[in-house]
Amino acid sequence: MIKILLVEDDEACAYTIQGGLELIGDYAVIRAKDGVEGWSLYCTEKPDVVVSDIEMPFMDGGELLKKIRADNPSVVVIMESGKTTPKSVVESLELGADDYIKKPFIAEELHAHIQAIFRRLHIRTNENQEDSPATVVRIGKYRFDVHENMLEIGMQTIKLTDREANILQMLYDRKNTIVPRKEILSSFWKDENDPFHSRSLDVFISKLRKYLSFDPSVKIVVTRGKGIRLID
């Protein structure tokens, strides 16, 4: 059963969506009428998915999304709105939304969006129990699929080479701490003392910095004589 927090100030709309999702059978729906109540329920209920309107009283959907992402970069968040201008869509995605759906919509449409996200993130549901465990992590505003070697931010997707992905995963696994340069070299090259391999590592780090440059909060810092650190 997937626990959904539905944050919607239109009571009739919320009732229709909740009823439709529960008829599908895979969902337990918790409702909130505004962002303040939504944040409170998010903290107590820890939902698997948050579906939130954007324009709401007291706390709008954008502010709610910021708070959720600060608490949990991985929970699935879908923003809904009657507005689908490029600006509104981009703003939601840049804040960390996984998807954007235009109102009005039916429960089956929302269900399809949720299942598509879960398939992409390799999250297990009642419909895909044979799928592999989750292999997607967040690095700042990026999603890093360690299985597919993919970095995603907003509508942009970057395909990494195996070596790039492996180095990034190593840095991510020990993020905010310095990983000794020799340890990285010995993990991916046979001769850690070969100057050519050391220069190759510098090239890979330069490429990863470029890929991650769309989020200024994410940095790869090289400390001379010590090692390399991913700051997230």
Whole-angstrom distance, CA of residue 33 vs CA of residue 11 = 7
Could you tell me if residue 126 is inside a domain?
no
Over residues 27-53, the pLDDT tens digits come to 889 999 999 999 999 999 989 899 999
State yes or no: pLDDT of 229 exceeds 90. Answer: yes
The domain boundary residue, chosen from 88, 121, 154: 121
State yes or no: pLDDT of 190 exceeds 70. Answer: no
Residue 198: pLDDT band by 50, 70, 90 thresholds? confident
State yes or no: pLDDT of 194 exceeds 70. Answer: no
pLDDT at 127: 45
Could you tell me if residue 143 is inside a domain?
yes
- Tell me if the pTM is above 0.75: no
Number of domains in the chain: 2
Over residues 117-174, the pLDDT tens digits come to 887 765 544 444 444 444 778 888 888 888 888 898 877 889 999 889 999 999 998 9
Q: Is the same domain home to 43 and 116?
A: yes
State yes or no: pLDDT of 195 exceeds 70. Answer: no
Could you tell me if residue 129 is inside a domain?
no
Q: Are strands 179-180 and 227-231 parallel, antiparallel or unpaired?
A: antiparallel
Q: What is the CATH number of the domain that holds 91?
A: 3.40.50.2300
SS3 content of the chain, % helix, strand, coil (to 5): 45, 25, 35
- Rounded to an integer, the average pLDDT of 187-210 is 82
* Through-space distance between the first and last CA atoms of the chain, rounded to whole angstroms: 32
The domain containing residue 145 runs over which residues? 136-231
pLDDT at 218: 92
pLDDT at 126: 44
CB 195 within 8 A of CB 203: no
The domain boundary residue, chosen from 121, 147, 164: 121
pLDDT at 26: 76
Over residues 78-88, the pLDDT tens digits come to 999 877 666 77
Q: Is the same domain home to 59 and 108?
A: yes
Could you tell me if residue 130 is inside a domain?
no
Name which of 80, 85, 77, 87 is nearest 103 in CA terms.
Answer: 80
The DSSP secondary-structure symbol of 84 reads -
pLDDT at 129: 44
pLDDT at 84: 64
Q: Give 70's contacts (C-beta < 8 A, 6+ positions apart).
A: none
State yes or no: pLDDT of 103 exceeds 50. Answer: yes
Residues β-bridged to residue 192: none
Half-sphere exposure (Cβ direction) of 218: Cα atoms closer than 13 Å: 20
The domain boundary residue, chosen from 92, 121, 150: 121
Q: What is the CATH number of the domain that holds 178?
A: 1.10.10.10
Name which of 118, 138, 111 is nearest 215 in CA terms.
Answer: 138
Does 91 or 184 have the greater pLDDT score?
A: 184
Name which of 193, 163, 169 is nearest 181 in CA terms.
Answer: 193
